[in-house]
A and B are shown apart, each in its own frame.
Chain A
């Protein structure tokens, strides 16, 4: 199997090839790469692939990890039921 077919974002089923092609074509920041590919936007909230997506961009752009957490965390940080969203929480 071709290494680039490895899935990076399990929730949204985005593979390494898609990420590399997108990052190269658009000279993406991590955030742009996430928004274009949906990697990190799935059910787990990016807990699995956030660091991987950022690491791909760091390597392509030859930059170091910054002090900010890559790909900003946004609430809700866990999946929420519609019931809770709509009225369970007031």
Chain B
């Protein structure tokens, strides 16, 4: 009999599986992908201290540990529906029905679309797809491409593509339109990437760790921003240029790029075509919470965490009996934080099953999660901690 079913074999799901299995629970983990590890599989980057984070190795460590503890792992299975009955959670999958008294949703995030004309042409892909093709499948996505959308995720993946020998001609913004306003606004983008100052060899971006945090200076920075952009890992990062259209007959042939005013408006007469054979669209991430919605979990809109978040407390517990969440479904943060959240959720599930002596470990894991968050070198949103605080207050006002 399965004590807990975990949906998602990424850093959160596997870490939760480990902490549940260590406390004697019978754990089953399922994942849609054919390899465990989730988005860890795509990750390869250098930490500020110079060491390398190799996501494939991290995923293998988690998988081996889970396997050694008797965790049952099934891959290539999708959940299509779920509901709660007196027997616990009934989870309908592409291969049959699974049941467990406790259910952990660790389904991660999905990419936000930022459409521009031509984005449906073959050769255009999301930045996450390029990462998976490069680092997981080892398939070259093209010879020379453009990344449309400048954010924490696309900067990290740009470096991975360069490491794989794939040339990025430029990183530019998507032209502002009704559906991708913030991603096309140089000021907003500047605000979000100045926090990556430590990664950037350019003086302007490096200022980000200090002075550039002040809005008037960001504006000045934009006025001074060179037309050719700054090079980060050899890639021109062009906050003052936007992709207006992706061109091609049967596949991507070029990207039409135009200069932007500091307000993000196209400067007329400045557009030119950049020949490329692939384009990556990078609109950011949002929590993939469809299963929590189908389960009937209440949500709150918390922009700092990436959008609509299933309501949960510090123990990763939702208001629904036996339903837990961990990882990016609870807000967009790094894999290390997802793993720490998974450990909390696993201990919380052990406490739900009344495994004795878990309360102290649970308190310690919550503390450890806060420390991990405070030390995070890559932050997706500057006010993550505030957003989390707000969510926890809402939970305690309504459900404790």
Complex CA gap A51/B119 in Å reads: 17
Minimal beta-carbon separation of B276 from chain A (angstroms): 17
Q: Are A69 and B299 in contact (CB under 8 A)?
A: yes
Contacts of B50 in A (CB 8 A): none
Q: Are B294 and A67 in contact (CB under 8 A)?
A: no
Seen from chain B, the residues whose Cβ lies within 8 Å of a Cβ on chain A are 32, 78-82, 92, 94, 96-97, 110, 112-113, 115-120, 175, 177-179, 245, 286, 288-291, 293-294, 298-301, 303, 307-308
Q: Are A72 and B293 in contact (CB under 8 A)?
A: yes
Q: How large is the interface on A (under 10, 10 to 19, 20 to 34, 35 or more residues)?
A: 35 or more
Complex CA gap A21/B6 in Å reads: 44
Complex CA gap A5/B79 in Å reads: 35
Q: Are A67 and B299 in contact (CB under 8 A)?
A: yes
Q: Are A78 and B116 in contact (CB under 8 A)?
A: no
Known: A1-B117, A8-B179, A67-B301. A77 touches B294 (CB 8 A): yes
Contacts of A72 in B (CB 8 A): 293
Q: Are A16 and B179 in contact (CB under 8 A)?
A: yes
A74 within 8 Å of B (CB atoms): yes
Q: Are B113 and A52 in contact (CB under 8 A)?
A: yes
Contacts of A42 in B (CB 8 A): none
Residue of A whose beta carbon sits closest to that of B117: A1
A73 within 8 Å of B (CB atoms): yes
Known: A49-B113, A51-B112. A56 touches B179 (CB 8 A): yes
Minimal beta-carbon separation of A17 from chain B (angstroms): 11
Q: Are A78 and B94 in contact (CB under 8 A)?
A: yes
- 13 interchain pairs, CB-CB under 8 A: A1-B118, A47-B110, A47-B290, A55-B179, A67-B300, A72-B293, A75-B294, A76-B80, A77-B79, A77-B294, A80-B80, A89-B96, A89-B97
Residue of B whose beta carbon sits closest to that of A77: B290
Known: A3-B117, A55-B179, A69-B308. A77 touches B80 (CB 8 A): yes
> Across chains A and B, which 7 residue pairs bring their CB atoms closest together, nearest first?
A75-B81, A76-B80, A73-B293, A1-B117, A78-B78, A73-B290, A77-B290
A63 within 8 Å of B (CB atoms): no
Q: Are A51 and B80 in contact (CB under 8 A)?
A: no
Contacts of A66 in B (CB 8 A): 301
Q: Are A51 and B116 in contact (CB under 8 A)?
A: no
Known: A56-B178, A69-B299, A77-B291. A51 touches B78 (CB 8 A): no
Contacts of A55 in B (CB 8 A): 178-179
Q: Are B117 and A6 in contact (CB under 8 A)?
A: yes
Q: Are B80 and A16 in contact (CB under 8 A)?
A: no
Residue of B whose beta carbon sits closest to that of A80: B80
Contacts of B298 in A (CB 8 A): 67
Query: A8 is contacted by which of B115, B286, B307 (Cβ under 8 Å)?
Result: B115
Complex CA gap A8/B116 in Å reads: 9
Minimal beta-carbon separation of B281 from chain A (angstroms): 11
Contacts of A20 in B (CB 8 A): 178
Q: Are A78 and B245 in contact (CB under 8 A)?
A: no
Complex CA gap A51/B97 in Å reads: 30
Q: Are B97 and A69 in contact (CB under 8 A)?
A: no
A61 within 8 Å of B (CB atoms): no
Complex CA gap A80/B77 in Å reads: 12
Contacts beyond the supplied A5-B117, A8-B179, A16-B179: 15 A-B pairs with Cβ under 8 Å: A3-B117, A6-B179, A7-B120, A8-B115, A45-B290, A52-B113, A52-B179, A65-B307, A68-B299, A68-B308, A72-B293, A73-B290, A76-B81, A77-B79, A88-B96
Complex CA gap A51/B178 in Å reads: 12
Complex CA gap A69/B175 in Å reads: 27
Minimal beta-carbon separation of A89 from chain B (angstroms): 6
